[in-house]
């Protein structure tokens, strides 16, 4: 089958080639099917420009820049020493000090949230006098109160889970937080509807009136209930829009911006609780604690979702440096800025990127770093999935960027075993390429299996092969149409016979990740050694 020519590169796209050392050749002996695509005609490598003489002392942006000291025998020795240390760090893996696994932390967090819920029930119990539960009306009203308290608490938890609290995002992972938020959302709407229904039914039973007139009376005459009803209607609307069948039909941004009405619902619910909540009106300590919890979550939102990204933008002044086509429908965006080392990003993590151009500034999309952070530039590699990602190939150098992050727990810290398998599906190779570059490992300790439909879909094979060759790792390209048995347990075992003794990092689209998990389990890899990142929150 004739291989297509590599995508043309513009001057901008090639801007960073020298820094990146992308001239590493693909090994034709290893991957005959991919080689012609990258080398249709033999072109001599671009010569690096000659080193320009350094000024004795330069004035840069008003700041004096001291020129580097000339190399002496002593400084050359120090440099060589550093290289030796860096190489040792990259080739020698030591079991890290014991850290609680993600799953344990998630369970602890759930335990903490459960304890919070128990405290809320205790508050209700303490303020429900003995004998107050006599009669159906009183029982229904009491049940309505406790569901109201639990609903208010769960609403607060929902907001906290999405407040992008860095420790939670990096140690437990954004994917778990988003999945838990989604699961809690279903309970939340049920609990709040139950609260409204029980309160009205309780009042109706006590007053011996019908449900409909009592509903009208409660909504229109009880103080602050109209406001709370509006909040409940908003939450039900958000819940309906988030149901899988409805959400699939909506553009992500439409769903996202409508979802923000939930914040208005939280405000309305909070005011309603303080105004009429029996547990708060007569109990100052409970009122202070409840208000304090709401203020703490509001502060997290403000600090981590608003101030943090703005601070990061002002401090690092990120800009697009170049855009490079990697394959059909896939581009890499290179981003430079000030003091990038202090971002403290790790290979495997992602940022939410906001490109400040006319049509894009209002959207932030998550994309993983596709090179290990190096202090000089950040790179994301994007497959055209929809309007936004398709347009990124048209970004011009100089465009300002706001980034939120780094996020994600899909990093080398999850590793517990010496040998590692990286398993990529499609553009899921992006964070795995960064991990391949940085995982401390000796020769033969890391394998990358890269699943793609056709050779044209393979992204940066020359980089992967270059890194693998330098590190003594192996890259297996697994090409073929989707839905086949490429990832079957037997196939995985035949490519990587010791797979069951390895940590496995899987990344790709949701369907591929689920299939890979299943097949890895069948191949004997324990659940706790499978670490996955789905390109879907």
Ligand X SMILES: Cc1cc2nc3c(=O)[nH]c(=O)nc-3n(C[C@H](O)[C@H](O)[C@H](O)COP(=O)(O)OP(=O)(O)OC[C@H]3O[C@@H](n4cnc5c(N)ncnc54)[C@H](O)[C@@H]3O)c2cc1C
Site of interaction with ligand X (CB under 6 A): 251-252, 350, 364-368, 380-383, 385-389, 408, 427, 430, 535-537
- Of 16 and 142, which CB lies nearer to ligand X in the complex structure? 16
How do 350-355 and 401-407 pair as beta strands? antiparallel
CA separation for the pair 319, 401 (Å, rounded): 5
What is the closest distance, in whole angstroms, from the C-beta atom of residue 253 to ligand X in the complex? 7
Query: Under a CB-based contact definition with an 8 Å cutoff, are residues 473 and 447 in contact?
Result: yes
What is the closest distance, in whole angstroms, from the C-beta atom of residue 367 to ligand X in the complex? 4
What is the closest distance, in whole angstroms, from the C-beta atom of residue 223 to ligand X in the complex? 40
CA separation for the pair 119, 293 (Å, rounded): 13
CB-based closest residue to ligand X? 386
- Of 182 and 376, which CB lies nearer to ligand X in the complex structure? 182
- Of 203 and 535, which CB lies nearer to ligand X in the complex structure? 535
What is the closest distance, in whole angstroms, from the C-beta atom of residue 355 to ligand X in the complex? 12
Query: Under a CB-based contact definition with an 8 Å cutoff, are residues 407 and 170 in contact?
Result: yes
Task: Quote the tokens at residue 227.
Answer: 């406001």
User: Computed from CA positions of residues 368, 370, 371, 374, in that sequence, does the dihedral angle turn out positive or negative?
Assistant: negative
The answer for residues whose C-beta is within 8 angstroms of residue 514's C-beta and 6 or more apart is none
What is the closest distance, in whole angstroms, from the C-beta atom of residue 353 to ligand X in the complex? 9
- In angstroms, the Cα distances linking 119 to 123, 127, 407, 412 are 6, 12, 31, 37
- Of 273 and 411, which CB lies nearer to ligand X in the complex structure? 411
- Of 109 and 364, which CB lies nearer to ligand X in the complex structure? 364
What is the closest distance, in whole angstroms, from the C-beta atom of residue 389 to ligand X in the complex? 3
- Of 146 and 448, which CB lies nearer to ligand X in the complex structure? 448
What is the closest distance, in whole angstroms, from the C-beta atom of residue 413 to ligand X in the complex? 17
State the alpha helices, DSSP H only, in 92-224.
102-126, 136-161, 166-168, 174-207, 211-221
What is the closest distance, in whole angstroms, from the C-beta atom of residue 390 to ligand X in the complex? 6
CA separation for the pair 267, 164 (Å, rounded): 19
- Of 323 and 430, which CB lies nearer to ligand X in the complex structure? 430
CA separation for the pair 356, 369 (Å, rounded): 19
Task: Calculate ∠ Cα 16-17-20, nearest 5°.
Answer: 85
- Of 148 and 426, which CB lies nearer to ligand X in the complex structure? 426
Helical (H) or strand (E) element with 15: none
């Amino acid at each position: 089958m004739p291989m297509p020519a590599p995508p043309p590169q513009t001057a901008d796209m090639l801007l960073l080639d020298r820094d990146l050392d992308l001239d590493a050749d693909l090994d034709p002996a290893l991957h005959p099917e991919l080689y012609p695509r990258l080398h249709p005609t033999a072109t001599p490598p671009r010569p690096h420009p000659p080193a320009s003489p350094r000024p004795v002392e330069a004035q840069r942006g008003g700041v004096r820049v001291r020129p580097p000291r000339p190399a002496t025998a002593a400084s050359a020795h120090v440099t060589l020493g550093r290289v030796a240390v860096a190489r040792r760090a990259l080739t020698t893996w030591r079991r890290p000090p014991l850290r609680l696994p993600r799953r344990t932390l998630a369970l602890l967090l759930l335990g903490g949230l459960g304890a919070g819920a128990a405290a809320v029930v205790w508050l209700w119990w303490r303020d429900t006098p003995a004998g107050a539960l006599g009669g159906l009306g009183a029982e229904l009203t009491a049940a309505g109160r406790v569901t109201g308290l639990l609903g208010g608490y769960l609403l607060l938890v929902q907001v906290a889970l999405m407040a992008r609290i860095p420790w939670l995002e990096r140690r437990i992972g954004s994917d778990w937080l988003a999945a838990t938020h989604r699961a809690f959302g279903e309970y939340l709407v049920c609990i709040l509807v139950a609260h409204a229904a029980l309160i009205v039914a309780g009042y109706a039973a006590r007053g011996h009136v019908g449900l409909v007139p009592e509903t009208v009376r409660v909504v229109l005459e009880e103080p602050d209930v109209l406001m709370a009803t509006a909040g409940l209607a908003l939450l039900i609307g958000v819940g309906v829009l988030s149901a899988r069948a409805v959400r699939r039909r909506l553009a992500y941004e439409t769903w996202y911006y409508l979802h923000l009405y939930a914040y208005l619902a939280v405000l309305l619910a909070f005011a309603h609780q303080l105004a009429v909540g029996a547990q708060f009106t007569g109990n100052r300590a409970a009122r202070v604690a409840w208000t304090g919890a709401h203020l703490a979550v509001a502060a997290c939102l403000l600090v981590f979702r608003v101030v943090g990204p703005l601070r990061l933008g002002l401090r690092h002044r990120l800009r697009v440096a170049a855009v490079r086509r990697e394959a059909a429908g896939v581009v890499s965006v290179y981003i430079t800025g000030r003091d990038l080392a202090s971002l403290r990003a790790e290979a495997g993590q992602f940022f939410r990127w906001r490109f400040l151009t006319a049509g894009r500034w209002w959207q932030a999309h998550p994309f993983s770093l596709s090179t290990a952070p190096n202090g000089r530039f950040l790179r994301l590699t994007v497959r055209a999935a929809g309007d936004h990602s398709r347009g990124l190939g048209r970004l011009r150098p100089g465009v300002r960027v706001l980034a939120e992050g780094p996020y994600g727990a899909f990093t080398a810290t999850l590793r517990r075993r010496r040998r590692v398998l990286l398993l990529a599906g499609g553009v899921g190779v992006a964070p795995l390429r960064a991990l391949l570059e940085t995982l401390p490992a000796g020769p033969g300790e890391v394998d990358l299996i890269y699943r793609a439909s056709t050779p044209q879909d393979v992204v940066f094979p020359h980089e992967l092969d270059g890194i693998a060759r330098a590190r003594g790792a192996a890259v297996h390209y697994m090409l073929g149409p989707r839905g086949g048995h490429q990832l079957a347990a037997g196939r995985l075992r035949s490519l990587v016979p010791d797979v069951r003794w390895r940590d496995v990092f899987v990344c790709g689209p949701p369907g591929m990740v689920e299939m890979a998990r299943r097949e890895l389990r069948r191949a004997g890899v324990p659940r706790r050694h499978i670490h996955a990142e789905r390109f879907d929150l």
